[in-house]
Amino acid sequence: MNTKIEEIDAKYVATLEGEMDTAAAVEAEKVLKPIYNSNGKDVIIDCTNLEYIASSGLRILISILKGAKAGGSKVVLRGVNDDIKNVFKLTGFISIFEFE
Amino acid sequence: MNKRKSADIGWWAHLKNFIRTNTSLTVIILAALLLELTTAILYYSAQNIIQQDMERVMLREMNALNLCIRNKLATVEVTLNNMSWVVGRDLEEDDWMFEITEKLVKENSVINGSAIAFVPNYYPKEGRWFEPSTVRKADGSIENKQVGSANHDYTKSEFYTVPMATDSCIWCEPYMDVDGSQVEVTTYSVPVYDDDGRKVAVVIADISLDWLEDVMNEERVYKSTQRFLTTGSYNLLGGEDSPMFREAVKILKTDGDKEGYFTAKDKHGDKKHVFYAPIGGKTDWVLINILDDNDAFGKLRRIRFFLLLPVMIGLFIVGFIVWRSSRNLERLREINAEKERIGGELRVASQIQQSMLPGHHLHRDDVDIRGSLVPAREVGGDLYDYFIRDEKLFFCIGDVSGKGAPSAMLMAVTHGLFRSASAHDSNPARIMDAINEVACQGNDTNMFVTMFVGVLDLPTGRLRYCDAGHDAPFIIRGERLEVRGEKSATALEVNPHLPIGLFDDTKYTVQEISIQPDSLIFLYTDGLTEAKNAEHKLFGLERIQAVLNTCADNDSEEVLEKITQSVNGFVKLAEQSDDLTMLAIRYTPKQFESTLTETLVLKNDVHEVTRFSSFIKSVTEKLGIETPLARKLRLAVEEAVVNVISYAYPEGTEGDVTIKIMSDGHTLRFQIIDTGVPFDPTKKEKADTTLSIEERQIGGLGIFLVRELMDTINYERVDGKNILTLIKTFKK
């Protein structure tokens, strides 16, 4: 899978592409770790091309969310597909993330 | 109108209520009233009789006295009447008069003195006043003298004026005879007529009233009787003057009647009966008898008192007895009400108890369970339970020592303990340990529970069990006909353990057998084996076994029906002595015929997950499973695999994780097998997805997703291997 972070309009935009299984999550975490503390900047996570996510991937998203909340900023998930949204529903995370 | 009516009813209702609530008091009051009424009637009728009796007696006594006095007076009267006739005949001889009076006095001891008082100047030679008289002196000698004189002008005296004026004989008022006999005397005086019928004199006779005293002192029926003889104007002739006499006279004077009876009170307030009657004849004398009320009615009063005393004592004793018995009655009523209440509560408890049990029936493709509990009393000390968790059938049966409410409570506690202990553990011995540990705490009554706990792994038929002093269940092995020969029920071999609740250091051990498809497990409590008929014979194991031997092809419901029929036919009408509890489990697993089996072996490294991802994608594609479901399956199995990779092997050690995917075209079976330390991921508590992000535990999410996405999850450790089985039906 591909993972990258950009800073656009004083917001972090993290783009996740492909399938984030447990093994991929280990790699993705290395990339995403810098925005675990977003320094008050909002974070947009672009999931438009994310096909699959395992619970280890969810953990990364939770870590980003916890960091952002601590800094007073928000996290928005963009372009989440139905299957992944279903996972968010199952786990109850649907209510703690913002989707657009 | 209506209001009035309702008020009446209210009053009546009040009375009825009072009688109902104070039965004893009412009875005592009624008895007392009745007794009082009887006594009063008795008393007043007796009083009436005595009163009549008294009046009759007094009347007779007074008549006798009257007669006595009249006789005496009649003597004087007759004599004097004769004398007046003699005087009238012999008027010429004035000297002769002394002879007449003297003769009279001499011959009549009653007469103290006699005189003839002539009208003034009758005998001119005798002067204006002539009254020849004879007197008996105190010494008995007799003296004649003419007593008429200017100083003694008899014409003004009563004895002269009245007969002269009225032509009648009279008895005069008494006076003290100071001249003659020195005694109280009274005078009888009779007019004398000459041949021409003119009144010329009166003859008189004085009689002493001494003899009256004797008459007055005559024997009397009532000792207290005081007798008085008075003149018409109530001057005392006989009897001793007393205040009571004067009181009676006062009343008599206003009364005017000459004969009668009345009651009066003396100065002490004591009641007196006063009888009075005229003597009659020529007198206007009155005889008065006064007697004490007490004299006449004292006996009656004493009788009443002595009658009343035992009656009061009796009434008191009866009252006491009634009060005591009514109190006992009240207590009995309270006890009954209490019993009723406890009975009601026990019925509710029984309902609660029944509702705590799982439904009587659970039917699945692979297992068929039916339970039955018939308590001997309202609530029983038996329990059974079963439930399926992660494709494991947890079941238990137990019997609390004793019966009734206390054992039912312990039963409820035990049931709760079984549920909580088996929620996270599938080892019957550990479940038993957990129940025992809590049950021993504070078990001062030393009640105990015999119990059997079994855990049947439904996919594999592996039965693990632990027996704590309970009757060993029967098992009919569902072997093929040619292998089993005659199907026969055999008791499961059980390690002996102490019952639950006695010692907290009891160690329970687990036993294990493999259950063949179509096997029947039959659990029961001693209420079945010890069911007694009227001859006190026990139903016994052999009978159970005999019935079970006919049950090889019956489902669990039919098995229980057969047993129940058999035991009812045996016991007949004898009373059920103990709770009767049964549980029948028919194990009917479907044969899984795999049409596709794929296997992948991974190292215990997360990076190996990439290989798994490719593997599962190829399998789901091969089976033509749609992407959304394929992604769900992939997620669930990946989570399970990662869980095993992360926990099955201690850090730094290497091991294999085998993933086996099997399908029969409808159902997918995933088996994740490792040889690491025993690790049961199903024991993990479910993640709470309702908590906020700060409260959420990141861990536990994986196994949670497995449970959510798969139909069933099942863990078994077999032959040193952890086997986690996930099942999902993808095509009907």
Q: What CATH number is given to the structural domain containing A71? A: 3.30.750.24
Is B632's CB within 8 Å of A23's CB? no
| Alpha-carbon distances of B494 from B106, B583, B587, rounded to whole Å | 147, 17, 20
Is A65's CB within 8 Å of B693's CB? yes
Say whether both B463 and B415 belong to one domain. yes
A91 touches B: beta carbon within 8 Å: yes
Task: Please give the structure tokens belonging to residue B135.
Answer: 């007197």
B631 touches A: beta carbon within 8 Å: yes
Say whether both B671 and B527 belong to one domain. no
Q: In this structure, are residues A73 and A11 in contact, taking their beta carbons and an 8 Å threshold?
A: no
What does the alpha-carbon distance between residue B244 and residue B272 come to, in Å, rounded to a whole number? 9
Say whether both B579 and B602 belong to one domain. no
Which pLDDT score, from 0 to 100, does residue B5 have? 52
In the listed set B525, B552, B587, which residue is the last one of a domain according to the structure? B587
Residue type, B598: E
List, as ranges, residues 556-615 from B with C-beta within 8 Å of A.
Answer: 606-610, 612-613
Q: What is the mean pLDDT of residues B380-409?
A: 85
**Is residue B226's pLDDT more than 50?**
yes
Which pLDDT score, from 0 to 100, does residue B697 have? 56
End-to-end alpha carbon distance in chain B: 81
Q: In this structure, are residues B728 and B633 in contact, taking their beta carbons and an 8 Å threshold?
A: yes
Q: What is the mean pLDDT of residues A2-12?
A: 90
B684 touches A: beta carbon within 8 Å: no
- Token look-up 């079984």 returns B418
Say whether both B414 and B556 belong to one domain. yes
Is B638's CB within 8 Å of A54's CB? yes
Task: Count how many pairs of residues, chain A against chain B, have C-beta atoms within 8 Å.
Answer: 68
Identify all chain B residues contacting A59, using CB atoms and an 8 Å cutoff. Answer: 698, 701
State the sign of the Cα–Cα–Cα–Cα dihedral B315, B319, B320, B325. positive
Residue type, B121: N
| Alpha-carbon distances of B116 from A68, B84, B201, rounded to whole Å | 166, 9, 7
| Alpha-carbon distances of B194 from B238, B246, B600, rounded to whole Å | 36, 44, 186
For residue A19, the chain B residue with the least C-alpha distance is: B613
Phi and psi at residue B611, to the nearest 5°: -65, -40
Say whether both B581 and B605 belong to one domain. no
The per-residue DSSP string of B601-633 comes to: EEES-GGGHHHHHHHHHHHHHHTT--HHHHHHH
Identify all chain B residues contacting A56, using CB atoms and an 8 Å cutoff. Answer: 642
Say whether both B442 and B507 belong to one domain. yes
- Token look-up 């004769």 returns B82
Residue B414 lies in a domain: yes
Instruction: Give buried/exposed letters for B394-410 (b at 16+ CB in 10 A, else e).
Output: bbbbbbbbebbbebbbb
Residue B486: strand, helix, or coil: coil
Best B602, B696, B697, B710 residue to mutate vs chain A (most A CBs within 10 Å) = B696
CA distance B432 to chain A (A): 34
In the listed set B172, B187, B212, which residue is the last one of a domain according to the structure? B212
Is B635's CB within 8 Å of A87's CB? yes
B642 touches A: beta carbon within 8 Å: yes
A70 touches B: beta carbon within 8 Å: no
Which pLDDT score, from 0 to 100, does residue B632 have? 92
* Residue B524: pLDDT band with limits 50, 70, 90: very high
Cα angle: B504, vertex B402, B498; to 5 degrees: 30
Q: What is the mean pLDDT of residues A12-37?
A: 91
What does the alpha-carbon distance between residue B667 and residue B727 come to, in Å, rounded to a whole number? 7
Q: Which of B610, B693, B709 sits opposite A96 (nearest CB)?
A: B693
Identify all chain A residues contacting B691, using CB atoms and an 8 Å cutoff. Answer: 92
Which pLDDT score, from 0 to 100, does residue B482 have? 46
Q: Which residue has the higher pLDDT, B220 or A49?
A: A49
Which pLDDT score, from 0 to 100, does residue B4 have? 53
Identify all chain B residues contacting A92, using CB atoms and an 8 Å cutoff. Answer: 689-691
Which pLDDT score, from 0 to 100, does residue B631 have? 92
List, as ranges, residues 117-146 from B with C-beta within 8 Å of A.
Answer: none
Q: What is the mean pLDDT of residues B615-634?
A: 91
Say whether both B426 and B543 belong to one domain. yes
Name the burial class of residue B361, with classes exposed (0-12), middle (13-18) and buried (19+) by CB atoms within 10 angstroms of its CB.
middle
Say whether both B383 and B503 belong to one domain. yes
Identify all chain A residues contacting B695, using CB atoms and an 8 Å cutoff. Answer: none
Phi and psi at residue B622, to the nearest 5°: -60, -35
**Is residue B1's pLDDT more than 70?**
no
**Which segments within B348-505 are labelled E, that is strand?**
361-363, 367-374, 382-389, 392-400, 449-457, 462-468, 474-476, 489-491
**Is residue B527's pLDDT more than 90?**
no
Task: Please give the structure tokens belonging to residue B632.
Answer: 């769900």
Q: What is the mean pLDDT of residues A64-78?
A: 90
Residue B687 lies in a domain: yes
Q: What is the mean pLDDT of residues B20-29?
A: 76
The per-residue DSSP string of B329-382 comes to: HHHHHHHHHHHHHHHHHHHHHHHHHHHHSPPSEEE-SSEEEEEEEE-SSSS-SE
- Give percent above pLDDT 90 in chain B: 20
pLDDT digits (tens, 9 = 90+) for B242-298: 888 888 888 888 876 778 888 888 888 888 899 998 888 778 888 888 988 888 888
What does the alpha-carbon distance between residue B41 and residue B310 come to, in Å, rounded to a whole number? 18
pLDDT digits (tens, 9 = 90+) for B181-213: 667 788 889 999 888 888 888 999 888 877 778
Q: In this structure, are residues B230 and B236 in contact, taking their beta carbons and an 8 Å threshold?
A: yes
Q: Which residue has the higher pLDDT, B627 or B256?
A: B627
Identify all chain B residues contacting A97, using CB atoms and an 8 Å cutoff. Answer: none
pLDDT, mean over chain B: 85
Cβ neighbour number for residue B446 with a 10 Å cutoff: 8
Which pLDDT score, from 0 to 100, does residue B487 have? 59
- Give percent above pLDDT 70 in chain B: 93
A49 touches B: beta carbon within 8 Å: no
Q: Report ipTM (2 d.p.).
A: 0.93
**Is residue B432's pLDDT more than 90?**
yes
Q: Which of B634, B635, B698 sits opposite A62 (nearest CB)?
A: B698
Q: Which residues span the domain enclosing B569? A: 357-587
pLDDT digits (tens, 9 = 90+) for B641-693: 998 988 888 888 899 999 999 998 888 999 999 999 888 888 766 556 666 65
A58 touches B: beta carbon within 8 Å: yes
For residue B693, the chain A residue with the least C-alpha distance is: A96
What does the alpha-carbon distance between residue B38 and residue B594 come to, in Å, rounded to a whole number? 107
Best B689, B692, B710 residue to mutate vs chain A (most A CBs within 10 Å) = B689
Is B690's CB within 8 Å of A92's CB? yes
Say whether both B362 and B480 belong to one domain. yes
pLDDT digits (tens, 9 = 90+) for B476-492: 887 644 454 555 788 88
Q: In this structure, are residues B476 and B492 in contact, taking their beta carbons and an 8 Å threshold?
A: no
Q: What is the mean pLDDT of residues B48-56?
A: 90
For residue B709, the chain A residue with the least C-alpha distance is: A90
Is A21's CB within 8 Å of B701's CB? no
Q: Which residue has the higher pLDDT, B97 or B308?
A: B97
A52 touches B: beta carbon within 8 Å: yes
In the listed set B564, B587, B610, which residue is the last one of a domain according to the structure? B587
For residue B695, the chain A residue with the least C-alpha distance is: A66
For residue A81, the chain B residue with the least C-alpha distance is: B628
Q: Which of A24, A69, A83 sits opposite B631 (nearest CB)?
A: A83
Q: B23-89 and B2-21 are packed helices; what angle lies between their axes, rounded to 10 degrees?
A: 100
Q: In this structure, are residues B404 and B379 in contact, taking their beta carbons and an 8 Å threshold?
A: yes
Is A83's CB within 8 Å of B607's CB? no
CA distance A6 to chain B (A): 26
Element (H, E) at B287: strand B286-292
> How many domains does one find in chain B?
3
DSSP summary character for residue B699: T
Say whether both B600 and B654 belong to one domain. yes
Say whether both B646 and B564 belong to one domain. no
Is A26's CB within 8 Å of B613's CB? no
What does the alpha-carbon distance between residue B5 and residue B28 come to, in Å, rounded to a whole number? 30
Which pLDDT score, from 0 to 100, does residue B87 have? 85
Which pLDDT score, from 0 to 100, does residue B481 have? 47
Q: Which of A26, A52, A90 sits opposite B606 (nearest CB)?
A: A26
Say whether both B541 and B406 belong to one domain. yes
Report residue B418 CA to chain centroid gap.
46
* Residue B146: pLDDT band with limits 50, 70, 90: confident
> How many domains does one find in chain A?
1
Task: Please give the structure tokens belonging to residue B178.
Answer: 């100071």
DSSP summary character for residue B678: -
What does the alpha-carbon distance between residue B436 and residue B448 come to, in Å, rounded to a whole number? 10
Q: Which residues span the domain enclosing A91? A: 2-99
Residue type, B20: R
